[in-house]
Every structure is written in structure tokens, then in C-alpha cells.
Amino acid sequence: MQPDLLDLHVLHHFRTRSPLTHCMTNDVVQTFTANILLTLGASPAMVIEAEEAEQFAAMADALLINVGTLTSPRAQSMRRAIESAVAAGKPWTLDPVGVGALAFRTRFCQQVLTLKPAAIRGNASEILALAGMSAGGRGVDTTDTAARALPAAQALARQTNAIVAVTGEVDYVTDGQRTKTIAGGDPMMTRVVGTGCALSAVVAASCSLPGDRLDNVAAACGWMKRAGSVAASQSAGPGSFACAFIDALWNLEAQA
């Protein structure tokens, strides 16, 4: 990736605006998600009780909805947060973890899709399922490549007016008309839990930045790809990789 593809002006916006990012995400990736946002300069907050989620979604700059460990009470809180964010004009992002494979979360995601998400970030199986083009993956893993899901992503973007990022070995970011392609990264990223979920949080935060939303979301994908490449070259396994990945995001400008 050339330095200019790191979209350093977007990164500058990210670091200086420090978007207050309301994360309603799954139990497995809370810490990693918060740390990824913090290393990039954002301000994460996980607020989940329905009353508070509704109040906070209107105060925050951006909202992330990740259904990885969705429960009934959490689904209710999320719906109230989404409605509050939309009413306040704040962008919200959907990470449809495991959609297609599991019925409860698939119903939930189909319902909230009508509530005008700013962005959707998923793997190929999830995007195919959300677009109604697949029966879904093997649990939360993807069984399709991102490239194969690109038409579904484009259709989903046109249907919802959201920016759709379908990520994998190569990431595709589309608004239904234009599509950006982000290569790079490293397979080691699939051996640390939460790299995709954390990307969704960065996408959510980037939707609050000024400028072209397609560019902002693509920039977020590019930062993670770059950090993955840098970290893989510096680590002896997934343990040291996870630390090096956070450090690499911290040092993105120096590496450009």
C-alpha cells in the first residue's frame, strides 16, 4: 500500500475529532474494540441498559451495533439506541456477526436494516445473507470470499443507502455505485478474535467524520490492513501479533 492510500487526512480527522463512539457489541471483543478505538484516538463507551443506551446514543458521535452475542434484552436496548441515534442525526453502523447461520439475530438484523444504517461491515457470508442471497456460513466464520459477495454488497448498499464493507483477504467498500478495493493485511488477523469486530467500531467512528463517507470507511479498512501487515512482520504468533497490531495502529503516521 502506498502512503497516500493510508488516507492520512482521514486519520488526522479521526485523531483530532476523537469521535465519542457508543459501542453495543458482543461480549468477546469489548476490550479489544475499546483498545483499538483508543489507540486510533477515538473515545469509546459501552452503554447498554435500554434507558441509558437511548440517552447516550443521542450524545455520542457514532453508534456501533454488533450482534455477536445478542440477547433479547440487548436487542431491545439496541433498537432504542438506534432510534435515538437516528432521531439525533447520528450515524450508526451494523456488524451482522453470524447472520444467516442463526435465526434470532437474522430476524433482528433484517428489522433494524430499515432504520437507515450509515454503514454495514461484515464478512462475505454475512453480507450475502443480509442481502438475501445466501443461507449463511458456518457459525461466525465465512465460507465465501469477499469478491463473490461484492454484488450482494452493492445491492445491499443501494437498498439501504448505507456504505457496505465486505471484508476478507481483500476488502471491498461500496455505496452501490462506486467501489473501493483494499488489499493487504495478513492471515494472522483471523487468528486473533475481534479484528473484524474492531474494524466495525472504527468504521462506525469514521462515519462521524467530515468528508466523503465512502472514503472514510475505506480509510478505516486500510488502517487495519496496514497494521495487520506491519504486526505480522514483527510477531512470533497471535499473542505478540495482537499487541503489535495495536502498536502499529498507534504508529500509523510514522509508518506512512
How many CB atoms are located within 10 Å of the residue 236 CB? 8
Q: Which residues contact 142 (CB under 8 A, 6 or more apart)?
A: 123, 124, 125, 126, 168
Question: Residue 201 Cβ, how far from a second copy at the closest point, in Å?
Answer: 12
Which residue of 1, 102, 170, 256 would you call a contact of a second copy, by CB under 8 A? 102
| 63 binding a second copy? (CB under 8 A) | no
In the bound state with a second copy, the residue whose beta carbon lies nearer, of 160 and 229, is: 229
194 in a known ligand binding site: yes
Binding region for a second copy (CB under 8 A) out of 35-43, 87-95, 115-123, 207-215: 35-43
Report how far residue 173's alpha carbon sits from residue 157's, in angstroms, rounded to the nearest whole number. Answer: 10
136 in a known ligand binding site: no
121 in a known ligand binding site: yes
Instruction: Give the Å distances, CA to CA, from 107 to 50, 53, 111.
Output: 20, 21, 6
- What dihedral angle (degrees, nearest 10) is formed by the CA atoms of 179, 252, 239, 22? -70
Which residue of 6, 57, 60, 199 would you call a contact of a second copy, by CB under 8 A? 60
In the bound state with a second copy, the residue whose beta carbon lies nearer, of 58 and 179, is: 58
- Sketch the per residue contact string, 222 through 241, with a second copy: x for CB under 8 A, - otherwise: -------------xxxxxx-
Number of residues binding to a second copy, judged by CB under 8 A: 62
In the bound state with a second copy, the residue whose beta carbon lies nearer, of 56 and 172, is: 56
| 72 binding a second copy? (CB under 8 A) | yes
| 70 binding a second copy? (CB under 8 A) | yes
| 57 binding a second copy? (CB under 8 A) | no
How many CB atoms are located within 10 Å of the residue 88 CB? 12
Instruction: Give the Å distances, CA to CA, from 152 to 124, 126, 174.
Output: 9, 10, 10
Q: Which residues contact 242 (CB under 8 A, 6 or more apart)?
A: 32, 192, 231
Report how far residue 111's alpha carbon sits from residue 109's, in angstroms, rounded to the nearest whole number. Answer: 5
Which residue of 12, 191, 233, 253 would you call a contact of a second copy, by CB under 8 A? 191
Residue with cell 493485511: 185
46 in a known ligand binding site: yes
Residues that bind a second copy (CB under 8 A): 20, 26-32, 34-35, 38-39, 43-49, 51-52, 55-56, 59-60, 68-73, 98, 101-105, 138-141, 190-194, 235-240, 242-251
